Amino acid sequence: MSVEDNTREIEEGVVTDLRERMTYGGYLGLDTLLASQHPKSSPEHHDELLFIIQHQTTELWLKLVIHELDDARRLLASDDLGAALKRIARVKHIQEVLTQQWSVLATLTPTEYAQFRGSLASASGFQSAQYRQVEFALGNKHARMLQVFESNPADHAALEAELHRPSLYDEFLRLLARRGHDVPAELLERDVTKAHVYTEALVPVFQKIYEDAGRPDVDEDWRAYEACEELVDLEDNFQFWRFRHLRTVTRTIGMKTGTGGSSGVDFLKRALELTFFPELYVVRTRIEE
């Protein structure tokens, strides 16, 4: 480093002639990626770029979440619980990034957003096909949601395929059954196009897994115990994300209706009542002291 001009010299081995070579920008498709922000406000409002990039990066992370949940289910179906937990752990870290990301959008004041909100017309995060795929993959199935995507055949097909695929919870319960846990037969044979609903008979299964894990004299299934806690982490993280979404929307538009026609804040509040793995929360009340 030159003290005089405060610069760092390029090392001799660094490739600088990039003709006919794979480049950083080429590998990442940056020409396309960085040219994909198209503000609609006229004149263009300074803060609309923030709004667009916030949601585009969310969609990129959701693409990776779907990728990881797809493979986690494949691994569960092939009894490779350890590798499946690695995929789930990655999803948890992505969820943390997505939640923290709301703080950037929260720098957008009501006045700033109001100046370009009309440019969104009927566009809304409610229409995110990837978000719906993630919800479906975690078990919050809703067949009527496919109507929103009838105008986009690719999105509709992807969501319909997800509707008919076992959720992460379905695959986990099937794995537990194969390991000798007394999972109710109706859950193993259920219609996977429907959302999972609380099943009281499943709670004793989890109660045994948790209580056995705390007893040194029992041949416990530690991987099953670990998986239960990982699923609880997933749901907690999802709820944190929903809550941060709710609070960001509240501070930005107050009680206005959503651009897609929803009731806005009230609609988001109701989402907080949805749960993916209810028995894993109920069991905490049942564990013996």
**Averaged pLDDT, groups of 10, the chain, 289 residues long:** 73 82 94 97 95 97 98 98 97 97 94 90 86 96 94 96 98 97 97 97 96 72 93 96 89 73 71 89 89
Residue 133's identity, in one-letter code, is Q
Known binding positions: 51-55, 113, 117, 245, 259
- Cis previous bond, 204, omega within 30: no
The pTM of this model reads 0.92
3-class secondary structure, 102: helix
Cβ pair 15, 21 in contact under 8 A: yes
CA dihedral in degrees (42, 45, 50, 54; nearest 10)?
Answer: -30
At residue 177, φ and ψ (nearest 5 deg) are -60, -40
- Alpha-carbon distances of 55 from 112, 215, 252, rounded to whole Å: 17, 47, 15
| Residue whose tokens read 């319909």 | 160
pLDDT at 254: 77
Cβ pair 124, 259 in contact under 8 A: yes
CA atoms within 13 A on the CB side of 154: 2
DSSP state of 145: G
d(CA 285, CA 282): 6
Name, in order, each residue with C-beta under 8 angstroms of 256's C-beta and a sequence gap of 6 or more: 264
| Residue whose tokens read 């990626």 | 33
The overall longest dimension of the chain from CA atoms, in Å, is 76
Name, in order, each residue with C-beta under 8 angstroms of 258's C-beta and a sequence gap of 6 or more: 124, 126, 264, 267
d(CA 144, CA 150): 11
Known binding positions for heme: 245
Known binding positions for substrate: 51-55, 113, 117, 259
pLDDT at 166: 98
| CA 196 distance to own-chain centroid | 18
pLDDT at 122: 81
